[in-house]
Structure 1
Amino acid sequence: MSGSPVDQVTVVCVTYRSARLAETMAATLCAFPHVVIVDNGSGDGGPARLRELLPHARVIERATNGGFGRASNEGVRAATTPFVLLLNPDCHIDMASLARLLDTLQRYPTAGLVAPQSWRPDGTAQVSYRQAFFERVPRAPYRVPDATCSAKWLHGCCLLIRTQAFARIGGFDEQFFLYYEDDDLCLRMHQAGLECLLEPAANALHVGGASSGGSAKVAFVKAYHYARSRHLAIRRYQGPKAALGYLVRTLLGGVPAVPLYALLLQRDYTIRWFGWTCAAAASLLRLAAADPSASGHRPGSQP
């Protein structure tokens, strides 16, 4: 690669109510000459603060929250470099690890993207790669690999992507508002003949869950979109029958689980099951109202 490696990378960071992370974000992003920040309609003053701290960054303010995939696509379209680093607001990577990621993509020209091994602040290794979500594998403790490896899924908190490869597969599918968009991206990369790699020699620090807060409303929205996105993913990769089974099981499990956990004063489980149940019910209602001939899901169709 000619020139400084960092000059070939645009960092794309999607924020949502991340104002309290502005200083730590700036400490990470100030070293990168090309930065695009897409704010998902936060209304928390974060974009203005980031403009002060990172005057060289392009800050795009969306009027509404369009989801992670949509905002990421908008950020990548604004990039003019051959590589894009998708980086969560609560994630940090240093220049040495970025250089290792770039070197990995250079060594493996058939790879579309590469992720570092991410770590929690307490030094615990985060699950950063695995098989496809629908593949049955024996349960085992997570083990950091000894060398570069290919995977069906990579954690989306930090991904170095070839810009052309991302455009080739159409970027993130914007139907996935939250959750499973990284599963779908990696699986479509594989379908296009592009490998997805984990590079354990590169490391990222990921706090996790620090961006959107921990209110009951946020917990419900996350649970709702987790179940909705899981249904979409199952439908796409396992078929309508498996997806319908998932919805029915979720609904039948949620009807008794919500009042039971509420009686037991288990707030987190109550909200989680309520969100899952609402998503399953909404998806079943949409399926019932849809034309049966359109039940086979495909990219670009409605869930």
Structure 2
Amino acid sequence: MTIERRDDRHRPATDGLDATAIVVTYNSRDHVTPCLAALTRAGVLARVVDNASTDGTGALIAAHFPGVSMVLNPVNMGFAAAVNQALSAVDTDIVLLVNPDCVLPEPTAHALVHTLRTHPDVGVVGPRLMDAEGRIAISAHPFESLTSLLASRFGGGLVPVSVRRLLCGENRRRTYDACRQVDTPVTVDWLSGACLAVRTELLRQLGGLDEQYFMYYEDEELCLRAWRHGARVLHLPTVHATHLGGASSNDPAWLWPHLYRSLLRFFSRHRHRSYPAARAAVLLRSLIGIGLSLVRMPWNSGIARSRACAWARVARIALTASVRQ
């Protein structure tokens, strides 16, 4: 049974902003307070969908943010499905998708909304993202390809940064440099779903977020479909939001299977010719990961076991994935 709580007596004054932020939580107690406090200061109406948290996230929000509309799901429905739940009740023309570990300053919220209202050709816009130490995080990307998959998934300690940068291609290098160095709006392929603004009408015309993605890649899918619908995607580096990361879980045995399942789903839909190679690459990467985890087991058994379990699940996904997802 889904439980919804709303108290419009405490609805914040929007001061002309008139936008709705959708925040999906899952065991986000340690991060969600700064997120919702910032949205309140910005005069943004927040709608929270909690995906069956067990850490008291819902109780904390109810106690400290009585003006926030909240849905409490009895099971974890995934990010996309939770966003669509909240979207059905949105009555503003702009939706802000904000992760519970993301702090959106008031000037940034206003800039995102203003951009959509003054640029009718833009359907999705996102700010520059910063980490907790104030470093610029890469939040704009070209659409995934087999080359970028190989460069990123075989990255880290397996391939030097200089080689990965060479392999990623000119378009990806140009986009990443724009995230770090450019201070003017830049049209990009897709933006991180940690913080972005979307026209409500566009999101509804697209059928909401694609619920076939439990988590990961739903933001890339959204932007790809927005482009195909004739709407531009814009990166706005003149304003920023702080993305702390890790609000839900850091367990690779839970996260990585969702990541790679979504990756393969994206390739099966949009990269048909390279899908078999993508499956093979994911399988190879998982086998390498299992091997490295076993080698490291004597020195750091807990982390190594978790990683070995995660890679084993990813290998199973690569082996059993259908030709079309």
From the superposition, tell whether residues 152 and 229 of structure 1 become closer, same or farther in structure 2 (CA, over 3 Å): same
Q: Output the amino acid matched with 1:13.
A: V
Partner of 1:16: 26
Shift of 1:37: 0.4
Q: Output the amino acid matched with 1:18.
A: S
Is 2:223 the counterpart of 1:212?
no
Once residues 109 and 48 of structure 2 are traced to their aligned partners in structure 1, the CA distance between those partners, rounded to angstroms, is 19
RMSD: 2.3
Is 2:185 the counterpart of 1:148?
yes
Matches within 5 A, 1:34-53: 34-53=45-64
Q: State the SS of the aligned residue for 2:137.
A: coil
Is 2:230 the counterpart of 1:193?
yes
From the superposition, tell whether residues 20 and 248 of structure 1 become closer, same or farther in structure 2 (CA, over 3 Å): closer
From the superposition, tell whether residues 33 and 158 of structure 1 become closer, same or farther in structure 2 (CA, over 3 Å): closer
From the superposition, tell whether residues 129 and 56 of structure 1 become closer, same or farther in structure 2 (CA, over 3 Å): same
CA offsets 1:199-233 (integer angstroms, 9 cap, x no match)? 11121111111x1244xxx2310122112111112
Partner of 2:216: 179
Unaligned runs of 5+ in 1: 288-294, 298-302
How many residues are matched?
A: 283
Is 2:84 the counterpart of 1:73?
yes
Is 2:262 the counterpart of 1:229?
yes
Partner of 1:244: 279
Shift of 1:279: 2.4
Once residues 23 and 244 of structure 1 are traced to their aligned partners in structure 2, the CA distance between those partners, rounded to angstroms, is 40
Is 2:201 the counterpart of 1:164?
yes
Shift of 1:20: 2.5
C-alpha contact (below 8 Å) 2:22/2:95 kept by paired residues = yes
When normalised by structure 1's length, the TM-score is: 0.85
Once residues 55 and 181 of structure 2 are traced to their aligned partners in structure 1, the CA distance between those partners, rounded to angstroms, is 37
Unaligned runs of 5+ in 2: 1-13, 149-167
Shift of 1:254: 4.2
Moved more, 136-145 or 218-227: 136-145
Partner of 1:285: 320
Moved more, 78-87 or 255-264: 255-264
Once residues 296 and 269 of structure 2 are traced to their aligned partners in structure 1, the CA distance between those partners, rounded to angstroms, is 32
C-alpha contact (below 8 Å) 2:124/2:199 kept by paired residues = yes
Once residues 57 and 98 of structure 1 are traced to their aligned partners in structure 2, the CA distance between those partners, rounded to angstroms, is 17
Q: Output the amino acid matched with 1:19.
A: R
Q: State the SS of the aligned residue for 2:30.
A: helix
Shift of 1:54: 1.6
Moved more, 242-251 or 265-274: 265-274
Partner of 2:97: 86
Once residues 312 and 264 of structure 2 are traced to their aligned partners in structure 1, the CA distance between those partners, rounded to angstroms, is 12
When normalised by structure 2's length, the TM-score is: 0.79
Shift of 1:258: 3.6
Partner of 2:164: none
Partner of 1:132: 143
CA offsets 1:27-56 (integer angstroms, 9 cap, x no match)? 213233521000000032221221222212
Q: Output the amino acid matched with 2:212.
A: Q
Moved more, 64-73 or 131-140: 131-140
Once residues 220 and 301 of structure 2 are traced to their aligned partners in structure 1, the CA distance between those partners, rounded to angstroms, is 30
C-alpha contact (below 8 Å) 1:223/1:273 kept by paired residues = no
Once residues 120 and 34 of structure 2 are traced to their aligned partners in structure 1, the CA distance between those partners, rounded to angstroms, is 33
